[in-house]
């Protein structure tokens, strides 16, 4: 299986602009670029497969350039739902610096900022040198623009296609960058860039575009910062433990797809995990392999060790083994149930609906089924107050082996 065939097997190729690209990927050494706008101070899990794509190609002798759009971030790529909110120059600069630091630390790619060349263009230069080369009929037939024609689109966002095309032309002229990679929603922008290169540099230039399928959840929605529950690549925004849990809870219907797209596990390793999933999905071996691989790649051995330590402590009830930071990570995404401090355990269990009645609460407590912060409690009349806190103002009440409740104590 050659490189291009493996990329197809992993589901990483949606479309290409030329059949010649397959041979170029397998046998050439291409300089290529992937771009993102600094609309947040961290990349998220939706970006991850394209960054790994860059790394896969780099390992086979190609050269990646990461473009963070300090200029295009001011404009906003058109989206189907409507106009984007404008970010201030200060926010964009802070986001750019954060992304630059993150990408350098994780992957070490060559970095460029399109503000460096876009800011030099006057309005007259923009309209004469580039606007003249774009046909409006051509632009409005691009999918991302066409979706907005009924609801309306500003000239600002309409011009985004031209700015991204200028990026491709500039990188070709400056670095001999011959390929752009983007999500499938970037097809129109990529082909516009190729058309601009052809018009400026001649039709004999060999440049390419490649789009990747967007990674989606089981319900068909895409991962992104505009969706609820964003999973960030920054460990301070999404901890290694939270990332581990997110991936470990992947649906069986998606886990093999994620293994192919989000890990460097070999074809043989993934096919073996697929076989095991079909035979015994309940063991969740594929999910465990996915979570361990991604957390380790992003946060190293130390991050994985922390994630596994918290996971095992919550699963086995060994909560006292966790330090304060690990305890904060453990409760961060747990649903909090409020209860009054200073009441009997049996009453607290009723208030929080852990038990339906005092009788049921007493049976569980005296039956050795209740633990507070991993320590068994056998007295229904024990007063639960701030001395019982696990971290901050919460405690973990565990019933049996599978039911844990994060209870937030409040004063009356």
Binding site residues, as ranges? 33, 160, 164, 225
Q: What is the DSSP string of 123-172?
A: HHHIIIIIGGG--HHHHHTSHHHHTTTTT---HHHHTHHHHHHHHHHHHH
Classify the phi-psi angles of 21: left when phi > 0, otherwise alpha if psi is within -120 to 50, otherwise beta. Answer: alpha
> Residue 396 and residue 14: Cα distance in Å, rounded?
46
Residue positions forming the annotated binding site for ATP: 225
Do 361 and 385 meet the contact criterion of CB atoms below 8 Å apart?
no
Would you list which residues are annotated within the binding site for L-tyrosine?
33, 160, 164
Pairing status of strand 208-212 against strand 15-16: antiparallel
Q: What are phi and psi of 269, to 5 degrees?
A: -65, -40
Tokens of 317: 């009830």
* Sign of the four-CA dihedral 270, 275, 278, 279: negative
Question: How is residue 101 written in tokens?
Answer: 């630091």
CA of residue 207 relative to chain centroid, distance: 29
- In the chain, the N- to C-terminal Cα span, in Å, equals 67
Between CA 139 and CA 211 the distance in angstroms is 19
Closest CA relative to residue 51, chosen from 68, 64, 38: 64
- The string of DSSP letters for 7-23 reads HHHTT--SEES-THHHH
Residues 79, 82, 86, CA angle at the centre, nearest 5°?
A: 90
Helix, coil or strand: residue 389: coil
Spell out where 132-213 has E strands.
177-183, 208-212
Q: Are 42 and 102 in contact (CB under 8 A)?
A: yes
């Amino acid at each position: 299986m050659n490189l291009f065939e493996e990329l197809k097997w992993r589901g990483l190729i949606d479309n290409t602009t030329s059949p010649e690209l397959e041979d170029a990927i397998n046998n050439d050494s291409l300089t290529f670029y992937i771009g993102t706008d600094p609309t947040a101070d961290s990349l998220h899990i939706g970006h991850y497969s394209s960054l790994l794509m860059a790394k896969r190609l780099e390992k086979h002798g190609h050269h990646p350039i990461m473009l963070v759009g300090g200029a295009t971030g001011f404009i906003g790529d058109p989206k189907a739902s409507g106009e984007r909110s404008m970010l201030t120059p200060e926010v964009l600069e802070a986001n750019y610096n954060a992304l630059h630091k993150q990408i350098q630390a994780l992957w070490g790619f060559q970095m460029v900022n399109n503000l460096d060349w876009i800011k030099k263009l006057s309005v007259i230069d923009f309209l004469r040198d580039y606007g003249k080369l774009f046909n409006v009929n051509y632009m409005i037939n691009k999918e991302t623009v066409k979706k907005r024609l009924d609801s309306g689109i500003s000239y600002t966002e309409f011009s985004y296609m031209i700015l991204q095309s200028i990026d491709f032309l500039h990188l070709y002229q400056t670095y001999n960058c011959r390929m752009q990679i983007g999500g499938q929603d970037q097809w129109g922008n990529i082909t516009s860039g190729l058309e601009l290169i052809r018009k400026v540099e001649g039709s004999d230039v060999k440049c390419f575009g490649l789009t990747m399928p967007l990674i989606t959840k089981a319900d068909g929605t895409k991962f992104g910062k505009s969706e609820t529950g964003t999973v960030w690549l920054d460990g301070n925004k999404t901890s290694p433990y939270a990332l581990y849990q997110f991936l470990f809870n992947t649906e069986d219907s998606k886990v093999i797809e994620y293994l192919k797209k989000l890990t460097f596990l070999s074809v043989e390793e993934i096919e073996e995990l697929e076989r095991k999933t079909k035979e015994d999905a309940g063991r969740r071996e594929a999910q465990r392999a996915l979570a361990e691989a991604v957390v380790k790649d992003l946060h190293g051995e130390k991050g994985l060790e922390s994630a596994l330590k918290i996971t095992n402590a919550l699963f086995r009830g060994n909560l006292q083994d966790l330090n304060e930071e690990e305890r904060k990570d453990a409760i961060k995404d747990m649903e909090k149930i409020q209860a009054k401090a200073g009441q009997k355990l049996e009453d607290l269990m009723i208030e929080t609906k852990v038990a339906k009645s005092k009788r049921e609460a007493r049976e569980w407590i005296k039956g050795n089924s209740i633990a507070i912060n991993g320590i068994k409690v056998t007295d229904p009349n024990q007063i639960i107050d701030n001395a019982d806190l696990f971290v901050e103002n919460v405690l973990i009440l565990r019933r049996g082996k599978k039911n844990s409740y994060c209870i937030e104590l409040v004063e009356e």
